[in-house]
Each structure stands twice: as structure tokens, then as C-alpha cells.
Chain A
Amino acid sequence: MVKPDTLQEALGMRSGKVPLAGGTDLMVREVNKEFLYIGHLPELKGIRALEGKIIIGSATTLDEIVCSKIVPEVLKQGVKVMASPGIRNMATIGGNICNSSPAGDTLPPLYILDASLLLVSLNEVRTVSVMDFIKGPGKNILREDELLKEIIIPDMDFTYAGYRKIGTRNALALSKASIAYGYKIEMDRLVDIRIALGAVAPTPVRSKSIEEFLIETYPWENGEMDRALVMYDKLINPITDQRSTAEYRRWVSLNLIKDFLMEVSSGED
């Protein structure tokens, strides 16, 4: 295990090692490579507002996110239902993103927030959308020489946004299915709607084209809601595992979308 003092130093040692911040996922796995401890690096900590964006350091703990006054509510809602207080005090948002589990509860909120990720290496800095970052269960495009430095969330102004998790129980639970949703209505017109689903496909699911369809056809008086549901049905690909069944996951996700759409169309919060 190595403990660099600065981000630069960390990047210099990065290759061939596994970055370790909060440890709540990695400490229960068998890891055959050496750890690169980065949870203490000041460059990776902190939450700040900058030019209309919220910037969150990747080693920010989940508890720090919940306590922050500026983090968007929908992300806080996702974090609040994760694991347990003891885990949230150590676990980091960067860890949850890089773990890239389709059931990761920070992910659907980050998807609908159009979050992007700042990836740094010794020679390069690049920004990628979180949706492009995650490729499959446990798979992402982080290179061997890169670290996730920051999460950048553009300013968002929803009429309402929220996160709902269907867990195996009310705490210490992994998601069987989850939904992050948000919408904006301006003068009886739907100007924005976003939906992201967790745990029902190899990655979280969000479809901008279905959202555009919903915006265009609002208030959905000709069966458009049902057509959207059919479109989501085709996108998701849930599995049966020790926590739940494919049938249930499919049924409940579509129900959660429908429930949300009905809320939007009735104009209620």
C-alpha cells in the first residue's frame, strides 16, 4: 500500500495499482494488486460552487454530500438511502462511480443531472459525461494511468426531482431497482423531463430520445405515456439474482416510471 502526499505524486505512482479512498467496497474484496491510497488527498476533497456548477471532489464522503448545503437534492436523496451511517461516513462518491455497479445509488441521480467527470493523468485532463463513463457492471473507461478528480454538476432547476430506491429492506440494502426523476414545467408547458433507472440493465439507463418524445407530446393525451413505457421496456434488461427476479425488476421499474409520469401529467408535485 502506498500513500502519496499530493495528487501529482499519486498520478506518478498510479499504474498497476488500485486506487483506494473510502474502502467500503474494496475492503470486502480480494484485491491482488497494491493499493494506492488517495482518500486523504486535499485535491480530491471539497464541494464548491463555481460559475453555475457544483464541483464535488471524488474523495468526498457520502456523509459530506448529505450534509452539504449546495449539493442538488436528488443526489442527496440517492446517497441518503445507501448502506448505513457507518458506511456513508467512509464511502466516497468517487468510489461509488468507479465501482460502476448498475445498482450504485449515486448513478441515476448523476445521470439525470447530466454530471460529467474530470479524469486526470500526468499528461492529460479530460472531461467525460458520467453516462459515457460507465460501460457495464464494474466496467468503466478510466485508464490505468488516470484518477477521477472531480464530479461536475451543471446548474439544474427542476420543478421537482427525486430518487426512489426499491431495496431488499429499509437500510443496509442494495437496490433491486431504482429511479431518479426530475421535471420542469413552465407555464403549463413541460420544458424538461429526465428519468434514469438503476439495477435493471448492465449500466444505469437513461434515454434522452424518450425524454424528448415526452417533452414534445406533453400532456400525453393520445396514449403517449404508454408508448413511452413500451420504449423503456425495450431498453431495460433486468436479471434474476439472489435479491430479486427479472420479472419483478421489469414490472416495478415500469411502474415507477408510470407513477412519475402520472404525477407530472396531473401537474402535482
Chain B
Amino acid sequence: MVIEFVLNGEKIKTDVNPEKRLLHFLREDMGLKGTKEGCGEGECGACSVLLNGKLVHSCLVPLIMVDGRDVLTIEGFRKTERFRVLKEAFSEEGAVQCGFCTPGMLLAAEALLRENPEPDEEDIKEAISGNLCRCTGYLSVVRAIKRASIKGKGLW
């Protein structure tokens, strides 16, 4: 089955098995390693990407569901000003430790701020509730996203 979609701003056309997971397609077929496999069953969020602007667990998304849609991974997001602001905020608040959950967290932050540019702490916790982190204890990530929303006022 031919699947066509936009990946990080570029049109992609592929004839892989439509059941193949977006996560594996990204990592194996496209060589994009920034999206991580932490569990393979949608329970950790390390594989998070944006699909038509919405946060999804790419390990659960077969390519057939990507047809005609728009995918943003960390490799696409990192070129933006919003990423820069978030990265600065993550740095200032110590929100990065081992780094495995980080791309997913950043995309979860982006998904939140697109819909809610002035989130409160509860909103942020809800937005990252599907992204597990074992290193930070989450508070620094929450502080970082809050900080980014303030420092990057107007970007979202």
C-alpha cells in the first residue's frame, strides 16, 4: 500500500507494510533516531511525535493512519525558535538528565503550548502525563515548560 505523508515539512511517499509502526519507520527506514522506543506499547511516551499537531505514541501508530497527514519529530522541531526557547528553559530548570524521555517531553510541551500558550501547573502535568521520566521526578520539567511559556510569550 502506498502511503504518502508530510514528514518534518517534506513530502514522503513509501510502499512499506501499512502495519509497520510509525516509530520503526522513522528509526529504520528514515534513519531518524531521535524518537525513542522505551516500551513499544504506548505506556511511556518516549516515542512521542506530533501527528497533525496532536501528540501521539508513534509505537502504536501503523503507517496507514499517517496517510495524508503531517508528522513532526524532534528532528523537525529542533530547527524552530520554539524549540530553542524550550531547550533554554529545560537547561535553566535542570529538566534533562539521561535524555531518553527528552525528545518526547519537548514534543509534549509543543503540543500543549500550541493549544494553550499560558498553561498553569495542572495543565502542564496533564500534558506530560503520558511521558514517563525516571530521572527528574517531573517537577523540573513542569517548571521548564512554564518558564518557556513565559519567556517565549508570543511564539505560541
Please give the residue numbers on chain A whose beta carbons come within 8 Å of chain B beta carbons, in ascending order. 1, 3, 20, 23-24, 27-28, 35, 37, 39-40, 63, 83-87, 89-90, 170-172
Cα distance A63–B130 in the bound complex, in angstroms: 14
Cα distance A85–B132 in the bound complex, in angstroms: 13
Taking a contact as CB atoms under 8 Å apart, the answer to whether B130 and A84 are in contact is yes
Cα distance A172–B56 in the bound complex, in angstroms: 14
Taking a contact as CB atoms under 8 Å apart, the answer to whether B21 and A27 are in contact is yes
Interface status of B126 (Cβ within 8 A of chain A)? yes
Cα distance A86–B50 in the bound complex, in angstroms: 9
Taking a contact as CB atoms under 8 Å apart, the answer to whether A85 and B108 are in contact is yes
Cα distance A213–B18 in the bound complex, in angstroms: 54
Please give the residue numbers on chain B whose beta carbons come within 8 Å of chain A beta carbons, in ascending order. 1, 18-19, 21, 41-43, 45, 48, 51, 54-57, 59-62, 64-65, 67, 108, 111, 126-127, 129-132
The total number of A-B Cβ pairs within 8 Å is: 80
Instruction: Tell whether A85 pairs with B1 under 8 Å between CB atoms, given A1-B19, A23-B60, A90-B65.
Output: no
Can you offer 5 A-B residue contacts whose CB atoms are under 8 A?
Answer: A27-B60, A83-B42, A85-B55, A85-B111, A89-B55
Q: Contact check: which of A1, A3, A28, A84 meets B129 at CB < 8 Å?
A: A84
- 17 additional A-B pairs beyond A24-B60, A40-B67, A171-B129, beta carbons within 8 Å, are A1-B18, A1-B62, A23-B60, A27-B62, A35-B19, A37-B18, A37-B65, A83-B130, A85-B108, A85-B111, A86-B42, A86-B45, A86-B56, A90-B56, A172-B129, A172-B130, A172-B132
Taking a contact as CB atoms under 8 Å apart, the answer to whether B62 and A85 are in contact is no
Dominant SS among interface residues on chain B: mixed
Cα distance A172–B127 in the bound complex, in angstroms: 12
Q: Contact check: which of A1, A3, A39, A87 meets B57 at CB < 8 Å?
A: A87
Taking a contact as CB atoms under 8 Å apart, the answer to whether A23 and B65 are in contact is yes
Cα distance A23–B60 in the bound complex, in angstroms: 7
For A90, the chain B residues whose CB sits under 8 A away are: 51, 56-57, 60-61, 65
CB distance from B129 to the nearest CB of A (A): 4
For A85, the chain B residues whose CB sits under 8 A away are: 55, 108, 111, 126-127, 129-130
Cα distance A258–B123 in the bound complex, in angstroms: 31
Dominant SS among interface residues on chain A: loop
Instruction: Tell whether A28 pairs with B42 under 8 Å between CB atoms, given A1-B1, A3-B1, A90-B56.
Output: yes
Cα distance A1–B127 in the bound complex, in angstroms: 32
Q: Contact check: which of A28, A39, A40 meets B41 at CB < 8 Å?
A: A28
Cα distance A40–B51 in the bound complex, in angstroms: 14
CB distance from B35 to the nearest CB of A (A): 12
Cα distance A16–B126 in the bound complex, in angstroms: 39
CB distance from B148 to the nearest CB of A (A): 18
For the complex of A and B, 6 pairs with smallest distance between CB atoms: A84-B130, A171-B129, A89-B54, A86-B130, A27-B60, A86-B57
